[in-house]
Amino acid sequence: MTTVMHLNGARREVEAHGQRFLLDILRNELGLKGSHYGCGEGNCGACMVLVDEVPVHACNTPLWSVAGKRVVTVEGLAGHPAGVRLQRAFVEHGAAQCGYCTSGMLVAAAGLLARQASPDGAEIRAHMARNLCRCGSHLRVIRAIGAAAADRGAGGGQ
């Protein structure tokens, strides 16, 4: 079947069975390797993408369900309102070690800032609770997201 979605700012048609998972399609049909496979069960967040600005687990999201929707992966975050600020803040705060979880963290954070421009620490922690990091970078991730939120309107670009 043909599925049409709006992916990272461009219309994309995908010829694939609609029951295949979005993560599989992104990585193996569209060459977007930034979304990672971790648990494959919706528990770790390594595969997160935005679907109409909502962070979802691409590993258990069927292709058919994103037909007609706006999908943003980590590769498209530079074109997202909070994407550049988040990327800069993650670098400045050293919010990654091995980096395996980082794409999902960035996407989840972009979804938060799209919904709530100035979240407090508790809101950031609650929102990021679904994203796991085996390297223990959580505290730096939380600080980086807070910094990216504060950067808004302070010459922080997008």
Burial class (CB in 10 A: 0-12, 13-18, 19+), 64: middle
Closest CA to 152 of 83, 64, 55, 58: 83
Give 8 or 137: the residue with its C-beta nearer to ligand FES.
137
Using the minimum distance from each CB to ligand FES, give the nearer residue, 130 or 152.
130
Least distance from C-beta 141 to ligand FES, angstroms? 8
User: What residue type is 127 in one-letter code?
Assistant: H
- Give the residues across from 7 on adjacent strands: 10, 71
136 vs 152 by CB, closer to ligand FES: 136
* CB-nearer residue toward ligand FES: 44 or 89: 44
Closest distance of CB 79 from ligand FES, Å: 23
Minimum CB separation of residue 118 from ligand FES in Å reads: 25
CB of 146 to ligand FES, least distance (A): 18
C-alpha distances out from residue 57 to 27, 40, 41, 122, Å: 14, 9, 9, 22
Extended strands (E) in 16-90: 48-51, 54-57, 70-72
Shortest Å distance, C-beta 155 to ligand FES: 29
Binding site for ligand FES (CB under 6 A): 37-40, 42-47, 57, 59, 96-102, 133-135, 137
* Gap between the Cα atoms of 112 and 144, Å rounded: 13
Nearer to ligand FES, 64 or 158 (CB): 64
